[in-house]
Structures are given as structure tokens and as C-alpha cells.
Structure 1
């Protein structure tokens, strides 16, 4: 002991204990490090092994299955796979539709070519002068012929309608005379409404163009119980047929016409006692019978065969 201070010498046992503890700590540390290194190594190896296995898995049988297998690698989620498959189906059906349209188009094209050949053969047989002409010239002549046929078809249709109308009128007591049909109507109307009634029948209120026609009308109305309107009004200071045709010979009863301010429409008298003197003028709003006249359509007289 020096200066009152005493330094105890460390025990060998304590030194040895600390040395052993340090040694065990170092060993444990190295062991843990090695352990973590081994675990990490094994994890990496396992990961690479699984990746290799995934890459080396045999694709499913069939081209479509193999394609879907590859798609699954590209789109790992279920939504991605569904989207990919949907797009593939859309592309497939689009390609299929295009193929069908192409096939149909090819068929139509072939049909058109065949049809034009038939037309060409027909036209050259009908018109030998077309032989040697190009397709455009033959087509123009074909179009002209088609236009003529269309016109003829329209005419035939209109003629058929006219025949049907005439047949109907004959069944409804219209009277034929000199290529004209006459209807001696039993109903009564004012003069203006009588015009409308005849037009509804595709005819006209009677206009008289000859003595022969006047005599025919007088015979037909001789037994009638009422007078009949004719298409003769007094307008603009003169008597004129309502369709604008000037009056030729007139067949007024003695003393007629008169009181032109109030009596502006003409009638054919029933029970006329004086032939060719059977017209009278009366107010246009009176209720009278009327006579309709249907002329033949002049178009059918001018048709070229």
C-alpha cells in the first residue's frame, strides 16, 4: 500500500471469465451472421429454383392453351387475363366476319359478272349491230331499253286501273253511248256540289258537244221525275261550260235564259215536250239531280305498238 491507496490485483478468475464471455459473444455473432447468410442464400436459391420451374413448366396442350399460358405470364391478375382473352375473342370474330364478307363479296361479284354476260348475250341477239361494241355502249343501249319497258309497264298498270274503273261503273248503272259513259244520278245537290260529286267519280258534270248527244240526253231524261244539272254557268257576262270550253249550239227553252242576276246555272228539263228546246236557267243553290260524263282517256289512243 503506498500513500494510503491500495490497488487490488485483478483476479485471474475474473479475467478468464470476461475472456470466455467475449469469446462466446464473438462465436455467437459469427454463428448468427452465418445463419442469416445461409438463410438468405437458401431463400435466393429457392426463389431461383421456383422461377426456373415456372419457366420450365411444360405448356398446356394445344396452341390456344399455350397462348393463354403465355398470356397468364404477361397478365398475372385475373382482370388482366379476362381483358386479354376478351381482346383475343374480339379480334377472332372480327377476322371471321371479314372473311365471311370477303367470301360473300366474291360470290356477288361473280353473280354480277354472270348477269351482265346474260344481258350482253340478250342485247346482241336482239340488236346484232351491238356485236363488237364495248361493254359501256351495250350498257347504254340496255338502259334505253329498260326505260322503254318501265314506261310500258306504267302504261299497262294505268290501263288496267282504267279498265277496272270502267267495269265498276258499268256495274253501277252508268250508261255507255258513243265511247262515253253517263251517270244519271238520282240524288239531289246544289250545282257546285254536283261538280264535286262527278269529280269524285273521276268524271265531269255533263257538257254537251253535239246535237246527237243532246238528243240522247233528252231521251234518257224523258221519264225522269226531276230536272238535272248540266255544266253550264253564267259567268263574266256570258254562258260558258264550266271547264272553259265555249258553248256552240244551245238548246234553250222558249223565253230562256232570263233573270240572269239570280238564275246563273242551267238544267236539262225532265219531260221536255219540245225536242232540242229543253234548257232552263235557275238559281245555282237549288237541289237538283245531275248527269256525270266520263270521256275516254286520249292517252291510250296515242300509244305506239
Structure 2
């Protein structure tokens, strides 16, 4: 192909591109003119006003939300600073702690206070029970409650009656406790069941199953009479040794012992 033909074709392409560009410019101008015409119309003016109104409302809403969030942050920081002041009063180590560490420490202290409040409620309930028991005739010794019954019962029924009171027949844990109970029994001048019995093997045991290795037998006791398999405490003692073996179905008085809960101590 010769140079005149190439030049002619290039000129043709430039002319086509120029016409295409002019057409696009014309279309753009026409669209812009139509848009201007629309905005100048009553409908366009209402749309512009509506858009301005929406934009204004959105701006105010965002500003209001921002102000509330800012206020919340300020209030939060004030609360943290107040908590920090309280904690520093308890322990100066908290003065340089981060906000999250301050909140964590406050939560721990709050949980501890809740725990002690619950313990205080439990203690108050136990105090109320203790006062009620004392009013009902129970005797207290070394933080333990004792009830010297006024009615009589067999050894087995006596244990059942003690259980109804949340207690058991007496089990003396020490020489001092044995002396306390024997003194009460001697003052009352009655015979009382305690929680010791003879098992099938002939061994004296406490209700717990523990062997009664420390005994306080009265003079001539334990006797060899048949079926004398339960122990009572007599008011007629031999040097504060008051135990006597009697028949378990004998109706006599009894001593109940109520061990305190941990919250009493």
C-alpha cells in the first residue's frame, strides 16, 4: 500500500475519532442541560430542598451521637478515677495501674465483699439458731450445745429424738468435756443415756463407730449382767467416773450433743 493511501486512512480515523468525541460532548452537554432544567423545575427544587434537609438531619444526628459518646467516655473516665481513688486509699500500689487493671481489681474486691456478705448472712442465721436453742433449754460449753432431756426414752429412741434436733447422743471427746457433763448430771440428780454401746463382739463403741478407748466407768462397772449393752451416766459417781452399763430398753433421760457448723466458729 502506498503512502497516499496510508495518509488517507489515518486522516479518516482522525476524522472518525473527532466526530465521536464531538458526539459525546454534545450528549454530555445535553444531559447537563436536561439536569439543569430538571433542578430548575418545581420537582427538582423540591428534591434539592429534601436532600439538603436529609443532609442537615444526618449531620445533626451524627453530631448528637458523637456528643453522647463523648459524654459517656467522660463519665466512664470519671467513674474509673473515683474507683482508682478508693483503691489507692486501700493500697497505694493501684495509683499507676491502667484503667482495665483498676476495673479488674474493683471487680475482685466487689466479689470478695459479696462473699463476706453471704457469710455474714449465714453467720446471722446460725446465731439465730443458737439463740433459739439456748432459749429452748440447751446448754453451751466450748462452742458446743448440750441438751439434758426432761423426758425418758430407751437408748434407741433417745438417739432418734436427738436426731430430730439435729444432734446425737453425747460423745465425750475429752476429759474436760466428760467432767463438764458429769457435773451437770450430778447437779440434776438423774441418770442419762450417752452415745456408747456394746457391739456384737463385746467391744464398747461410740455411735460414730469409734472404739471407746477412754472410759469413765463407775465403781464395779461395767457389770456382767446380761443385755446390759448400753451406757448411761449416773449422778452417783466415783471420782467423776459415772458410766454404768444398763439394758438398752430401759426408759431413762438422755443427753443430746449438737456440734456447731464452721460458721459458728
Smaller-chain TM-score range?
0.5 to 0.7
State the Cα distance separating 1:145 from its structure 2 match: 1.5
Match of 2:181 in 1: 217
Cα distance change on mapping 1:210 and 1:121 into 2, 3 Å = closer
Matched, 1:256 2:222: yes
State the Cα distance separating 1:230 from its structure 2 match: 0.3
Q: Which has the higher contact order (CA 8 A, sep 6+)?
A: 2
CA contact (8 A) 2:139 2:146 kept: yes
With the length of structure 1 as denominator, give the TM-score of the two structures.
Answer: 0.52
Cα distance change on mapping 1:224 and 1:141 into 2, 3 Å = same
Distance in 2 between the 1:135 and 1:236 partners? 71
State the Cα distance separating 1:184 from its structure 2 match: 0.8
Distance in 1 between the 2:247 and 2:143 partners? 32
Which consecutive unaligned segments of at least 5 residues does structure 2 have? Answer: 1-64
Q: Structure 2 residue aligned with 1:292, among 242, 256, 259?
A: 256
Q: How many residues align?
A: 194
Is the radius of gyration larger for structure 1 or structure 2? Answer: 1
Q: CA RMSD in A?
A: 3.5
With the length of structure 2 as denominator, give the TM-score of the two structures.
Answer: 0.58
Structure 1 stretches of 4+ moved >6 Å: none
Distance in 1 between the 2:223 and 2:121 partners? 46
List per-residue Cα deviations over 1:178-216 (Å, max 9, x = no partner).
444321111123323323433443433211233343333
Matched, 1:239 2:186: no
List per-residue Cα deviations over 1:59-92 (Å, max 9, x = no partner).
xxxxxxxxxxxxxxxxxxxxxxxxxxxxxxxxxx
Match of 1:72 in 2: none
Distance in 2 between the 1:294 and 1:172 partners? 13
